[in-house]
Amino acid sequence: MTERVIELKVLLERQNQDECDVDEFIRRVKQYADSTELTRAMTLELIERITIGERDVEERMIHIYYKLLGETA
């Protein structure tokens, strides 16, 4: 039973951290809500990295990894 309790506590801590990360990301994005262009400072604060896949005919996958949030396609 204690192993399950430890497992649940770890899961709860991870969920709480995820919530904090999302809140922090939203706070950062709100700073730039009225911006009309993407600046270097904005990119450095919000984006971890961008990967571009191999060209497949006319399309290629672009993955943006946001700081605190992870990947979106």
**Given this model, what pLDDT does residue 36 score?**
93
Q: Residue 35 is encoded by which pair of tokens?
A: 């911006």
Rounded Cα distance, 51 and 59, in Å:
14
Task: Note whether 66 and 51 are within 8 A (CB).
Answer: no
Distance CA 33, CA 27 (A): 10
For 27-46, the pLDDT digits (tens) are 988 988 899 998 999 999 99
Quote the pTM value. Answer: 0.63
So where are the chain's domains? 2-72
